[in-house]
Structure 1
Amino acid sequence: MREQRRPREPWPVLKVDDWTPTRETLHMWAQIVGKIRMAHAPMINHWWQVPLYVSPRGLATSTIPYGTDCFDIEFDFHDHQLVIRASSGSIGKVALEPKSVAQFYVEVTDTLSELGLITDIRAEPTEVETAIPFAQDTEHSAYDGESAHLFWRQLVQADRVIHEFRAHFIGKVSPVHFFWGGMDLACTRFSGRTAPAHPGGAPNVGAWVMVEGYSHELSSCGFWPGGDGEGMFYAYAYPEPEGFADYPVGPEAAFYSKDFGQFLLPYEAVRTADDPDAALLRFLHSTYEAAAERGKWDRAALEADPTRWDHLRS
């Protein structure tokens, strides 16, 4: 007999302050897994070979090449395990439970070795002010499984709606993917024009890394589980065109932050809206329009109605 689960709110409540220790530990664990993917995957523009992706159970790498074989890694936030699956058929698991980053790093690298997946990474974090090498990090050791599960459910909703938004663009556009450096889910559209060299400035990240990421004019959006309240949806343009910050965007709770240089929309404002999907889509479309209109993008060539063939589908 199939287990009956309790009804639950599609957009879960998860206050940033209630899971900060777990979030900071999970951030470091995700960096370890992301760097393993980066060690084997061939370079793709804007570092698209390095992120993780929302999966039905958590966050996953997708297929990682390994010689003539392959493997993948998934954070399973249902059973609270890190699962490593090799094309040989072998499977390795590391428990997601309270433990230090140092212990997690050892367990993951040992499990990879047992599966014959020898991997060397630059074993220290990026995009954080204090970069403690993974093997020495005993400071971050919290893991609350319920919080991790709620965070994944936040990502499921954000990923679903951002994919719907992505479908309206036929120009160059990134996947909807989870960047473990900043710990945010993101999707980026491109005008087709090159951009000025990015000046850098992210902590513990070489300027050349940012130059690659921002090599072309873009409009980016996503979800970040930080800041105040329950996290933030964001949208920005690079380079920011004149008048971008003054463009009228929605919904009402959205605003331009001079400190962050981007539009922000509190997750809570979306979660409590009469129609959360519509509220978030309004934010995504209007902030993109701010970039495209103020930046004089060729919108006719870059956009299309994703329902354009629906009348012919059986």
Structure 2
Amino acid sequence: MGAGRTVLVTGVSRDLGRTFARTLATDPGVDRVIGVDVIPPRGDLGDVTFVRADIRTPVIAKVIAKEGVDTVVHMSVIATPGSAGARGTMKELNVMGTMQLLAACQKAEQVRQLVVKSSTIAYGASSRDPAMFTEDMEPRRPARTGYAKDVTEVEGYVRGFARRRPDVQVTLLRCANVLGPRVMSPLASYLRMPVIPTVLGFDPRLQFLHETDLNRVLRHAVLSDTGGTFNVAGDGLVMLSQVLRRMGRTSVPLPGVAFGGLGSFLKSARVADLSPELIAFLTYGRGVDTTRMRTDLGFEPHYSTAESLAEFVATLPPAGGRADRVLGALADHLPPVDEDRPAQLTLAGDHDGRR
């Protein structure tokens, strides 16, 4: 790819998108960066030109044409509704937004490169999974709902676009769970809880990607001449039990059914969003092979999975405050913890603790 390009970045109202757009705008190989989102970002965008636009509408095609965009970085496939509103709106942004964006790219002859931030959630999480997923593998249990299904659909549309526009270099980055001091995600919210529920009898393997390495791999992909699909994660894996020990957090093992029922309580209390796909991940875990990331894409993360976790842990506030009060309310549903017996959650409508 030549120098002096004009790059459009979607999803800049969120911290990760804003940080990446700002960083890319300082690169000597990039002339201009256009940041697009439905709401303005909270922080400073630096030299990025912000355009308020909804990628679910045809207006995005006008932005690409008017600004002479030749490279598109799609970062607005989101795991949580956040300011977007309810789950229905989130699905619209993820799936319909991607469809409109790709339709606009297909019509724009000057577009030569597309980089899409995807997620390893595309592989799902189940008891039948391999030890490590490679890029050519399919999920053992196809996603039927939620963010995981959105990611599956988005990737399908991206592959379709790549077939229709073989002249465009398409890079799909399947990123492991991003972790870092500024990351707001379902998993990060779960790990920030002062008392952490776990699924009884399971100790999932986890992989992390540091937020600065996400920034770096996106920039690397933009400036690289290599297209394709790549797993992106820090070296190594950690068990959830190791994560909790290093965080110094107390855990409460719960039966799978009770763990699922806990999700609605935590969501209503705005402490964490334990979606079905996150519950599956916290039960079975997931590992991805990153050989292709190194050999073909030529990218090496600065942080291992353990180092990403260590930096996250170092910035955790001491337990206390509102989250403690909410978890205190949760504790009212739990009997005293017996060292030889895991705690059982008493769900609403189950007053005597029996099922």
Length-normalised TM-score, structure 2 = 0.27
Larger Rg over CA atoms: 2
Going by fraction, where is helix more abundant, 1 or 2? 2
Length-normalised TM-score, structure 1 = 0.29
